[in-house]
Structure 1
């Protein structure tokens, strides 16, 4: 790319949006996990050549917009133009990150970052990205969907890292590798702005001199250290200890119109499990469309299924409750004698899908898409349930599987198994079902618990305590059942014990950098120096 070609602000903005969207290919459905380790490099190299700090802020926002739009593109049929509004608002979180990229990796009149700047960049840029993910992980801003580390859900060594530092540690690893690769490229390709500065000097009396030590050796050393660290942790991290086994059955209704027809199909499919000696049967999210207290006939039919199969049923009720105002989504355990009294009400709702944040301000989203016409009500606490005499499990509902702290909290409460009920039927033919199902691998590896992801219409999957998939998945084209014999575990992983220590380390690094910036002591990419040549003396 020539300097003139990159001079157009409009062209740079378009490139920033495209570059920001590149990491999306590392997630399902493409699932090119290896792509994540270089996907940020074009964005980094573009922002480092920004002609000003203000421009770097803008290109950080533009890249964030591209990333958020690409990650949530499957929302377009439901939210229409409001999808762009959401991407624009969330993309602004990357604006400060863009400013820091320019400060450490390049900038006007700079040829390349030095070793000090490179060393700081290898710590600060991954930490800055993690801070962005931390902020947008707040449920009111949409939650932690599409965390960069989540792209590594099918990589064994990465899952071992997750058991130590959660998905946060994986994000730090991925961004650090991208930063090191960008440094290698920057060491060879000068900033376009530096070329302009050199071209403006008179060649007769000035000679560009770039005394900045190359960051290439440091970048190579960083890549080697990250590889060694990943392998070391993969080998040394403790494995979950198996304390028993259980047989779990999933019932996936498939696409069925109407709650009555859906219930009838789920009832028929469940009867196919008679005689299969299962310990727990799980239906998907919104599998029951009526409050069971209002419909005792449905409660009796569920109890009959539990008696016939010899296993408790975990169903999910999406209905207006009879004992309190509002609509709830609830996991309810049903035994041979009816509902056991174990109930979990969903705590973290899907923005716009189940409630509208600041409805008085953003309520217009209902007029342009399929946003929630009425806000669902929230539960107040997580619940541990017991199926039979020995199986303790923790239920979650749909969107909640994106939050690492919810699975970790249940593991610390002593559950043997994690169970999530989900439905992505509104996005049946998009990337959403596969993206959602992949989160089960991360939550399993983080907590050292088998994770059961049961959906209404696919993809339904089960991942063992090491994060690896068990058995076959029920895809979006399947209406049927599957039985899985799964290992149980009650041991705690490093992440269970120490939680989000990687986040705290990143925030500490950013705080130190911020203090240094305020004091004017931070290293930054330096301008190339020039020296005046002495005029040639005539030979006498």
Structure 2
């Protein structure tokens, strides 16, 4: 029968042994011994956060991955889960600090939930660290973790994917082959290979293999440079002249709307000013105009004044305009977040309703129960009703793929528009709540990755910034500053061709995620086999290897 004594080497307690001062002292000693590792994990998590916008120190994403691999290597699954949590909590607290506008309790709560996925990742890294080729399995597990976190709970929250820290790096072109998951995998593989190189370089005796360490480091570099082999997008089939309107808001923060009609008047006035410049010969007439999410703060179908104001502005510019507004839902408890094609002659036409409302921001799960405990949730007076189709619409001469705000973070929503024939991508967003917090920069980075992934130009229209024109290679051609009224005009390509990422869809993500799970299963089976063959070595069987320092 396998030995099951504690790692401290003491005999197990008998069932009737009371927990005395000695047991408490041993527990405190284990906690003190683990503090250095916990501190290093927290520091590594903060370094990973610095890889993301607005800091953009992307090489730290490799170091963050490498650090977590080293800190979990040789640990038990439970110990590594704590290490992963200690890594993930400060990472998300810093990355999602823009949620402080809502409240620090929201920041902490969401960060804790997201850090639990990093705890599971830590356990997986520890289990697979016993397998041959563990850097590969570790990289796959990063995909497994992101796959789960992008979908759970309540539809998931993809913020913090490694790919979103690498939207303008040597890894970025890989998005055209396998989307954001392949970029994450390449970054994670480079990081785990660096960890393997460190293990070989710092080993003792036969474990020290300088040549292997050098080869691992070269493998990390080669993975990074693989993106340069990806071909650039083909020439456009056509072009379209666009104008993106950023009307600004009265006050950033939770009460950005101000008085009714203020935001709508800002966007209508900016559009009419552009029309005057066109008539005066100071500007060239666009083919289409893009307004942002919530550019009308009133439902034009229930408020005649809002309808008339939008119609006046669109008639003044004389071209089809995409208008973002909230409209009444199918019942009194719901509202819909829509982008509406508004024609200067025929008025409102095709529309897209946001498919993925944000939980607690745009709808309240378990409203009856939670609203009694968290009174702030009552500010979300009506839940957003989700749309049932993608955002592919004909806007003048352009067949656009519209996504609204946070939807740009979800692979399948953006991919679906391209699959259905979108020739240019539009991101309507309202970041006024999070102005000057770093969140707009993070969302801009995601849009840059989508441009490369799908080989499409991306037009970002934001109420208060950052609006931008992004080329199919991810280059930001134009952008606005935050909290300023501005308009962007540009000629952008319309493309019909698809990338490899479009054609393979979610297959790379599923393949890599399943590979990570299978590797974990293999690690568990290997540990059981070792316990069966070496029943007398309690320390080794507890971890699948030699004991590590600080336990």
Question: Shorter chain as normaliser: what TM range?
Answer: 0.7 to 0.9
Query: How far does residue 83 in structure 1 lie from its aligned partner after superposition?
Result: 2.2
Task: Answer yes or no: is 1:501 the counterpart of 2:507.
Answer: yes
Deviation track 1:179-218 (CA, whole Å, cap 9, x = no partner) reads 112222223446xxxxxxxxxxxxxxxxxxx665446544
Q: Residue 28 of structure 1: which of 53, 57, 64 is its match?
A: 53
Task: Answer yes or no: is 1:254 the counterpart of 2:279.
Answer: no
Q: Residue 84 of structure 1: which of 108, 128, 131 is its match?
A: 108
Task: Answer yes or no: is 1:273 the counterpart of 2:274.
Answer: yes
Deviation track 1:28-78 (CA, whole Å, cap 9, x = no partner) reads 11111222221233333333365x432222111221222222221111231
How many Å separate the matches in 1 of 2:447 and 2:480? Answer: 14
Unaligned runs of 5+ in 2: 1-28, 251-257, 279-283, 531-542
Report what 1:55 is aligned to: 79
Q: Residue 165 of structure 2: which of 151, 172, 184 is its match?
A: 151
Q: Residue 129 of structure 1: which of 142, 164, 188 is its match?
A: 142
Query: How far does residue 353 in structure 1 lie from its aligned partner after superposition?
Result: 1.1
Query: How far does residue 425 in structure 1 lie from its aligned partner after superposition?
Result: 0.9
Higher mean displacement: 226-235 or 362-371: 362-371
Over 3 Å counting, the alpha-carbon distance change for 1:322 and 1:291 in structure 2 is farther
Query: How far does residue 431 in structure 1 lie from its aligned partner after superposition?
Result: 0.8
Query: How far does residue 463 in structure 1 lie from its aligned partner after superposition?
Result: 0.9
Report what 1:469 is aligned to: 476
Alignment map for 1:337-416 (pairs within 5 Å): 337-360=345-368, 362-363=370-371, 366-367=374-375, 372-388=380-396, 390-416=397-423
Over 3 Å counting, the alpha-carbon distance change for 1:166 and 1:104 in structure 2 is same
Query: How far does residue 518 in structure 1 lie from its aligned partner after superposition?
Result: 4.5
Report what 2:453 is aligned to: 446
How many Å separate the matches in 2 of 1:69 and 1:444? Answer: 28
Higher mean displacement: 308-317 or 80-89: 80-89
Q: CA contact under 8 A between 2:430 and 2:462: conserved in structure 1?
A: yes
What's the TM-score, normalizing by structure 1? 0.84
Count of residue pairs the alignment pairs up = 491
Report what 2:489 is aligned to: 483
Over 3 Å counting, the alpha-carbon distance change for 1:353 and 1:219 in structure 2 is farther
Report what 2:26 is aligned to: none
SS at match of 2:469: strand
How many Å separate the matches in 2 of 1:335 and 1:176? Answer: 49
How many Å separate the matches in 2 of 1:7 and 1:189? Answer: 25
Q: CA contact under 8 A between 1:303 and 1:338: conserved in structure 2?
A: no
Over 3 Å counting, the alpha-carbon distance change for 1:430 and 1:371 in structure 2 is farther
Over 3 Å counting, the alpha-carbon distance change for 1:520 and 1:169 in structure 2 is same
Over 3 Å counting, the alpha-carbon distance change for 1:91 and 1:360 in structure 2 is farther
Over 3 Å counting, the alpha-carbon distance change for 1:216 and 1:147 in structure 2 is farther
Q: CA contact under 8 A between 2:343 and 2:349: conserved in structure 1?
A: no
How many Å separate the matches in 2 of 1:253 and 1:370? Answer: 28
Q: CA contact under 8 A between 1:57 and 1:97: conserved in structure 2?
A: yes
Deviation track 1:142-178 (CA, whole Å, cap 9, x = no partner) reads 42112111111122x4231111111111111111111
Query: How far does residue 369 in structure 1 lie from its aligned partner after superposition?
Result: 7.3
Deviation track 1:413-472 (CA, whole Å, cap 9, x = no partner) reads 1111111110111111201111111111111111111111110110111211111112x2
How many Å separate the matches in 2 of 1:120 and 1:430? Answer: 41
Over 3 Å counting, the alpha-carbon distance change for 1:141 and 1:504 in structure 2 is closer
Task: Answer yes or no: is 1:237 the counterpart of 2:231.
Answer: yes
Q: CA contact under 8 A between 2:237 and 2:494: conserved in structure 1?
A: yes
Q: CA contact under 8 A between 1:465 and 1:489: conserved in structure 2?
A: no
**Alignment RMSD:** 2.8
What's the TM-score, normalizing by structure 2? 0.82
How many Å separate the matches in 1 of 2:332 and 2:370? Answer: 27
SS at match of 1:504: helix
Q: CA contact under 8 A between 2:363 and 2:380: conserved in structure 1?
A: yes
Over 3 Å counting, the alpha-carbon distance change for 1:371 and 1:514 in structure 2 is farther
Q: Residue 436 of structure 2: which of 429, 440, 444 is its match?
A: 429
Over 3 Å counting, the alpha-carbon distance change for 1:487 and 1:446 in structure 2 is same
Report what 1:532 is aligned to: none
Query: How far does residue 489 in structure 1 lie from its aligned partner after superposition?
Result: 0.7
Over 3 Å counting, the alpha-carbon distance change for 1:88 and 1:215 in structure 2 is farther
Unaligned runs of 5+ in 1: 106-112, 191-209, 529-540
Deviation track 1:383-415 (CA, whole Å, cap 9, x = no partner) reads 321122x31101111010111211211111111
SS at match of 2:171: helix
Deviation track 1:231-254 (CA, whole Å, cap 9, x = no partner) reads 455334352331111111111111
Q: CA contact under 8 A between 1:300 and 1:338: conserved in structure 2?
A: no
Report what 2:70 is aligned to: 45
Higher mean displacement: 374-383 or 327-336: 374-383
Higher mean displacement: 490-499 or 121-130: 121-130
How many Å separate the matches in 1 of 2:233 and 2:85? Answer: 41
How many Å separate the matches in 2 of 1:392 and 1:152? Answer: 29
